């Protein structure tokens, strides 16, 4: 969809009306404020069964025998299911079937489910689960990425359909002559950066239930981020057609990527029970099961070498990235692709050599999480940029201005950035907002003060081969508008923004638009609620559907107003002739007349980006439609005795295209920064030989309100010609530079570069006392 389309159909950028750019109240705000939303675990069912898993006792080996006899005769037990009870395929997966629904022969991790027990009460199911006996044979396991890459390493999945040894995916970028680039450099820096396992730590633990229907179909209910994907993945396992599986999404209590895979696991295993027993099956994770068993943010090791001339111009980058995927693919190939594409940062460089390895291990599995791997590589490149600035005795803003992306820049994949590039504007506005360095206002407080900055770029939408979305718009006979789209309101405000887009495009009041509950039987396929695509991609699809509706109504209105159909306009609930706006009627009158003459006022929209390309051997291509850009600056204070770090202030300037709802954009930026603060300083899932040692929120710490810094949030609007009213993504990019900005600030405060996250008080105190930093 082009800028011309929007100008012709809905008016130009200066004629966006009252709703685009307005701080409209969240449509899901009042019920969340008064406690009205009913989450999946709150639903009451008639005669349900409760499902409890039995997991593997070893991280790698074979399952010799399972004895369920005692469990099956325990009080209240309806069934105990193992791999032999699966009616369809025994393997499943989001991108490829490489994960056992229930362990058949091979065990690949401690989180593998061997059996599921279903009983009348949760307590009975838990008791019976403890009665399941199994005999296993342990095999050599591998947990660390570098160990898994050794020639003599145990192969995690010897019969994997795609992996070569333990390498599931190896992607490359080859641009220019990297050796020549380093030879031309006056300064060359090389460091290795490491990030940790992180949990999504959403408020609502994973939950859901499945109800069998009289016709043999099932209805799955629960929080998800990919409703159509759920039924696509579980149908072959359950032996059903996709048309026999309905998924209804409940209001999620957070997602951040984690409720893609868990919604599949819950629907699949509860579905097995429901089909077997013909009773509703409830499968709710405890907090301990969620923290201890579900997939995490993938940890990364990034080896980064960068060269530059004395004037600061970057001449070459060599990057090696290793991701500890765990034993299964899931969306891992998408993570490594997005990660390597962004690995050279928002910087022009003629010579880039990058290798990205997605490595299988027997660790806990990993999955999508806000930013999809891009925060990890920005921690590396933006740390390198600050080290380069120090080596060159150059201002870090100036170094980034010299090398940063501008209109017409060529990326590492050789994509020419031909529109909506706001990085320079973000640098200028962030720097202007700073004020004095925090050391100047320390007033002898005994603390070490530092300031650090980081830039970023981040794609909108899914990567190659394309990104697509469907939407439908129906006008009821009272002139109200229903919008059906498979995007989940996770808390990011998408339903509010999409309602604003729909109301503006249709020319009706905001309160007359309703975004329908997501139900695969009622709304079209819209893809994942992920990838910062929830405004741009579905917004375009909705506008295409509305264009179809307007095409139905315009001739009717033209006849009523005695004017040409091409001169009909829709605005503020009125329909009028553009050349004679005083000749108008209400939107409802046009709807009534259209229905009277037999029109069905429904539009179908399908938006696709068209081909998106990425060559896995060279990296060459146009992998994304458009990118967001920005800069964050962190001011920190450090206690020199304890090493504790406080983030005092964050300045964030983000290019978001057109801000459809500015207050919502600000909320997304500040929320993402808070999340990034946790990864930079606090959070870490402690995993030992595949076992999670931090299975509760007493041991897995996350930021709280007392950790929230002062915010200065600046919206930069470089209109995106391919987005609805100029919008592009913001939800994930908000935390992409945060890790590096905070790390660079701590470096400025204590004089030591931290290359491993999180930056703990212990590591800071040790660095201070080793280096003898003066207060």
User: Do 101 and 271 form a contact (C-beta atoms < 8 A)?
Assistant: no
Q: Give the contacts of 672 (CB within 8 A, at least 6 positions apart).
A: 370, 731, 732, 733, 734, 735, 738
DSSP SS3 for 291 = helix
User: Do 585 and 558 form a contact (C-beta atoms < 8 A)?
Assistant: no
Give the Cα separation of 760 and 680 in Å (integer).
Answer: 9
Tokens matching residue 743: 């790390």
- According to the model, what pLDDT value does residue 38 have? 87
Give the Cα separation of 109 and 100 in Å (integer).
Answer: 11
Active site includes 689? no
Catalytic residue among 204, 348, 382, 732: 732
Phi, psi torsion values for 684, nearest 5 degrees: -165, 125
- According to the model, what pLDDT value does residue 35 have? 87
Give the Cα separation of 486 and 525 in Å (integer).
Answer: 6
Q: What's 444's DSSP letter?
A: T
For the chain, list the domains and their CATH numbers: 3-36+468-608 (3.30.365.10), 40-139+206-284 (3.90.1170.50), 296-463+614-771 (3.30.365.10)
Q: What's 668's DSSP letter?
A: H
- According to the model, what pLDDT value does residue 567 have? 96
Give the Cα separation of 538 and 470 in Å (integer).
Answer: 7
- According to the model, what pLDDT value does residue 462 have? 87
Distances (CA, A) of 476 to 19, 108, 480, 504, 550: 22, 53, 5, 17, 14
Phi, psi torsion values for 364, nearest 5 degrees: -60, 145
Give the Cα separation of 675 and 661 in Å (integer).
Answer: 21
Residue 714: strand pairing partners = 653
- According to the model, what pLDDT value does residue 774 have? 45
Q: pLDDT for 298-317, tens place per residue?
A: 999 999 999 999 999 999 99
Q: Which residues of the chain have pLDDT under 70?
A: 1-17, 772-775
Beginning with the edge strand found earlier in the chain, give each strand of the sheet holding 133-138 in spatial order: 106-107, 61-67, 133-138
Distances (CA, A) of 177 to 338, 351, 734: 23, 5, 33
Q: What is the pTM of this model?
A: 0.96
Give the Cα separation of 168 and 638 in Å (integer).
Answer: 41
Q: What's 83's DSSP letter?
A: G
Residues written for the chain: 775
Give the Cα separation of 598 and 396 in Å (integer).
Answer: 65
């Amino acid at each position: 969809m082009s800028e011309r389309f929007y100008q012709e159909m809905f008016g130009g950028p200066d004629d966006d009306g009252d709703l685009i750019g307005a701080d409209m109240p969240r449509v899901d705000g009042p019920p969340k404020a008064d406690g009205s939303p009913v989450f999946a675990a709150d639903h009451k069912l008639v005669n349900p069964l409760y499902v409890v898993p039995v997991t593997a006792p070893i991280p790698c080996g074979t399952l010799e025998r399972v004895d369920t006899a005692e469990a099956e005769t325990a009080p209240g037990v309806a069934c105990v299911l193992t791999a032999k009870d699966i009616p369809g395929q025994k393997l499943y997966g989001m991108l490829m079937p490489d994960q056992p629904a229930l362990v058949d022969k091979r065990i690949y991790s401690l989180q593998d489910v061997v059996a599921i027990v279903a009983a009348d009460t949760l307590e009975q199911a838990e008791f019976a689960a403890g009665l399941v006996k199994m005999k296993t044979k342990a095999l050599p396991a591998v947990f660390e990425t570098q160990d898994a890459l050794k020639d003599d390493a145990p192969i995690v999945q010897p019969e994997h359909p795609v992996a070569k040894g333990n390498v599931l995916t190896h992607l490359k970028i080859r641009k220019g002559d990297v050796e020549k680039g380093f030879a031309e450099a006056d300064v060359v820096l090389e460091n290795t950066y490491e990030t940790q396992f992180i949990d999504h730590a959403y408020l609502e633990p994973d939950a859901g239930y499945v109800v069998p229907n009289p016709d043999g179909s099932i209805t799955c209910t629960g929080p998800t981020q990919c409703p159509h994907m759920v039924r696509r993945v579980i149908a072959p396992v359950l032996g059903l057609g996709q048309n026999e599986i309905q998924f209804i999404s409940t209001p999620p209590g957070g997602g951040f990527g984690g409720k893609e895979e868990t919604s599949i696991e819950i629907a699949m295993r509860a579905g097995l029970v429901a089909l077997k027993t013909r009773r509703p099956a409830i499968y709710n994770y405890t907090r301990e099961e969620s923290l201890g068993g579900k997939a995490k943010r993938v940890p990364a090791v990034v080896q980064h070498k960068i060269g530059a001339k004395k004037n600061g111009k970057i001449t070459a980058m060599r990057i090696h990235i290793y991701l500890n995927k765990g034993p299964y693919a899931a969306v891992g190939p998408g993570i490594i692709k997005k990660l390597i594409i962004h690995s050279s940062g928002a910087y022009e460089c003629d010579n880039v050599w990058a290798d990205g390895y997605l490595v299988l291990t027997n660790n806990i599995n990993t999955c999508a999480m806000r930013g999809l791997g891009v925060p990890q590589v920005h921690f590396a490149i933006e740390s390198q940029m600050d080290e380069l600035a120090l080596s060159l005795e150059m201002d870090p803003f100036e170094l980034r201005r010299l090398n940063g992306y501008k209109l017409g820049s060529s990326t590492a994949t050789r994509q020419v950035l031909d529109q909506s590039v706001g990085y320079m504007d973000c640098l200028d506005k962030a720097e202007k907002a700073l004020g004095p360095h925090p050391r100047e206002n320390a007033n002898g407080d005994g603390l070490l003060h530092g300031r650090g900055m980081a830039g970023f770029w981040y794609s909108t939408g899914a990567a190659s081969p394309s990104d697509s979305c469907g939407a439908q718009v129906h006008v009821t006979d009272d002139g109200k508008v229903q919008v059906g789209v498979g995007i989940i309101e996770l808390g990011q405000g998408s339903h509010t923004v999409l309602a604003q887009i729909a109301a503006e495009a249709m020319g009706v009041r905001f309160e007359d638009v309703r975004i329908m509950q997501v139900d695969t039987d009622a709304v079209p396929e819209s893809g994942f609620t992920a990838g910062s695509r929830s405004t741009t991609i579905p917004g375009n699809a909705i506008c295409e559907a509305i264009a179809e509706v307007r095409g139905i109504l315009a001739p009717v209105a033209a006849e009523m107003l005695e004017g040409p159909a091409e001169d009909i306009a829709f605005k503020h609930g009125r329909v009028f002739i553009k050349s004679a706006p005083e000749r108008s009627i209400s939107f409802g009158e046009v709807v009534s007349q259209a229905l009277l003459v037999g029109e069905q006022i429904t539009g179908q929209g399908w938006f696709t980006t068209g081909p998106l390309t990425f060559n896995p051997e060279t990296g060459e291509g146009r992998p994304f439609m458009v990118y967001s850009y920005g800069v964050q600056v962190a001011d920190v204070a450090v206690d020199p005795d304890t090493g504790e770090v406080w983030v005092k202030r964050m300045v964030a300037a983000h290019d978001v295209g057109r801000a459809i709802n500015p207050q919502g954009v600000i909320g997304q930026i500040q929320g993402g920064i808070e999340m990034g603060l946790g990864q930079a300083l606090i959070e870490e899932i402690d995993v030992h030989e595949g076992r999670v040692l931090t299975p509760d929120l007493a041991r897995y710490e996350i930021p709280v309100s007392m950790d929230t810094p002062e915010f200065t949030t600046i919206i930069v609007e470089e209109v995106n010609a391919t987005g609805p009213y100029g919008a592009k993504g913001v939800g994930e990019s908000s935390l992409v530079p945060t890790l590096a900005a905070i790390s660079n600030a701590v470096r400025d405060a204590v004089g030591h570069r931290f290359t491993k996250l999180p930056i703990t008080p212990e590591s800071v105190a040790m660095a201070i006392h080793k280096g003898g930093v003066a207060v």
